[in-house]
């Protein structure tokens, strides 16, 4: 992928070619191909896609953002004891996938940075304590952990990044 540095990351639109997306994981392929537009319409999640300047309808990668509350018991004790005794608000990075042809070119990192940047911007308007990430497998978990995103105590595949740490 020659022009990966010229990515456009924006909300999923009708003109984006969802059927041509294949990342190697059937559940992530199926989501963007069949479920994403419905989740947007129902206000379940927001889907952001990366395309190149030269092929603005071809999805190179995508991620989803939604909200959730994190129970204090799920947080590490050193953080939980500093917080009020009720669930804390978080942004959920539920899915992140890169098309096979674009893998290993930094697209995943660029999508993650965009998701964090977008979450930080939103946190200026509404309260968001952390970004929570659902890692689909151990490889994805390792990817997130290299950026300082830590496992929640109750679920090793669910990770989090307190926004104050950024």
- pLDDT, tens digit (0-9, with 9 covering 90-100), for 63-83: 999 999 988 777 777 777 777
Spans of all domains in the chain: 4-165
Question: What is the enclosing helix (H) or strand (E) of 29?
Answer: helix 26-30
Active site positions, annotated: 144
Name residue, tokens 């893998």: 103
Is pLDDT at 3 greater than 50 in this prediction? no
- Per-residue confidence (pLDDT) for residue 45, from 0 to 100: 97
Topology (CATH level 3) of domain 4-165: Aminopeptidase (3.40.630)
The reply to whether the predicted model has a pTM over 0.85 is yes
């Amino acid at each position: 992928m020659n022009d990966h540095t010229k990515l456009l990351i924006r909300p999923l639109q009708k003109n984006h070619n969802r059927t041509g997306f294949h990342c190697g994981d059937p559940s992530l392929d199926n989501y963007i191909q069949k479920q994403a537009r419905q989740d947007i319409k129902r206000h379940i999640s927001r889907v952001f896609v990366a395309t190149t300047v030269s092929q603005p309808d071809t999805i190179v990668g995508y991620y989803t953002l939604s909200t959730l509350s994190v129970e204090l018991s799920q947080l590490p004790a050193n953080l939980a004891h500093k917080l009020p005794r009720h669930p804390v608000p978080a942004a959920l990075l539920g899915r992140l996938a890169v098309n096979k042809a674009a893998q290993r070119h930094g697209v995943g990192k660029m999508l993650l940075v965009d998701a964090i940047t977008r979450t930080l911007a939103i946190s200026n308007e509404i309260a968001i304590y952390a970004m929570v990430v659902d890692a689909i497998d151990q490889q994805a978990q390792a990817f997130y952990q290299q950026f300082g995103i830590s496992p929640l105590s109750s679920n090793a595949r669910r990770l989090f990044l307190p926004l104050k740490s950024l």
